Amino acid sequence: MPDLEIQIGELTLKNPVTVASGTFGYGQEYEAFYDPSLLGAIFLKSVTLEERPGNPPPRLVETPAGLINSIGLQNVGLDRFLDEVVPLLEGIDTVLIANIAGNTVDEYVQLAEALSDCPGLAALEVNVSCPNVKEGGIAFGTSADMIREVTQEVVAASALPIIVKLTPNVADIVSMAHAAEEAGATAVSLVNTFLALAIDIETRRPILGNATGGLSGPAIKPIALRMVWQVARSTNIPIIGMGGIMTGTDAIEFLMAGATAIAVGTANFVNPLAPVEIVKELEMFLEAHHHTSVREIINVVEG
């Protein structure tokens, strides 16, 4: 059996297959299908300081090989997250990573401080890339200076490893990853969704209640893969690669392009077993190619 274990800074993942924030709730919804402890890590749904009702519906539009969403970070807020959500996580035997989103640098800091001592959490993912909220989110993620500032402050506020989740809606993804690396992030997640629009031609209005949303799914995979590859070639920061991963082949492409781990997002909706099937397909690929460790296929693309 090939060794699937990977290391991201001080985090040890039993395998490189994780699930993306916002697509897996807090782990409970998929327990009917498989034991979430089989995953390398779970990126939990975003938490904000205050409760957020989320965006007005409609929140979803299906597109060719893709899905546009504008959920708007609906969540119960920090206090209830600590009281109600954290106890649910007990018993999930894998790396659990909270995803934090703030309107201001200070809010990111408060969230990071409050979650640092939270039992069961192994790391924090800093969401500077949500396309569906007015403040914070993507407004931070499109400026290298803001990424640097948020990352520095959060790293200083928390003893946990910090992973910065970047938006692809920028001219130069490499400079964004550089900023996170310089500011002390342990890893970057690449990529969040692509800002997108769908129009109802009868009403001549956007379909989504929030007008724009974020595009995910196989439609974005080649672009996400290119960004992972570019960042891997120009930085030394570990990458969690994501964007339209549906199969083991997709996952292996991201690993070869330079991702140390991958996250399954929209595929969870299509095939609830996708993450565990990807683990199996990865194992079979490694065996077929006589690799003893998954680490042998990470960042191996030349040219």
Which of 138, 246, 274, 282 binds another protein (CB under 8 A)? It is 246
Site string for another protein, 266-295 (x = CB under 8 A): x-xxxxxx----------------------
Helices 105-116 + 144-157 axis angle, to 10: 30
Residue 98 CA to residue 267 CA, distance in Å, equals 20
Query: 17, 41, 111, 130: which is the annotated catalytic residue?
Result: 130
The interface region with another protein, picked from 101-109, 141-149, 154-162, 261-269 by CB under 8 A, is 261-269
Cα(256)–Cα(240) distance, integer angstroms: 12
Instruction: Provide the strand spans (E) within 88-242.
Output: 95-100, 121-127, 162-165, 187-190, 194-197, 199-200, 205-206, 212-216, 239-242
Residue placing its CB nearer to another protein in the complex, 77 or 172: 77
Cβ contacts of residue 198 below 8 Å, gap of 6+? 61, 63, 68, 206, 207, 208, 213
User: Does residue 130 have an active-site annotation?
Assistant: yes
Tell me: does residue 65 bind another protein (CB under 8 A). yes
- Binding to another protein in span 181-240, by CB under 8 A: 217-218
**Between 66 and 258, whose beta carbon lies closer to another protein?**
66
Site for another protein (CB under 8 A): which residue of 3, 9, 38, 60? 60
Contacts of 83 (CB under 8 A, 6+ apart): none
**Which residues have a catalytic role annotated?**
130
Q: Applying CB under 8 A, which residues contact another protein?
A: 22-25, 29-30, 32-33, 53-54, 56-62, 64-67, 69, 71, 74, 217-218, 246, 266, 268-273
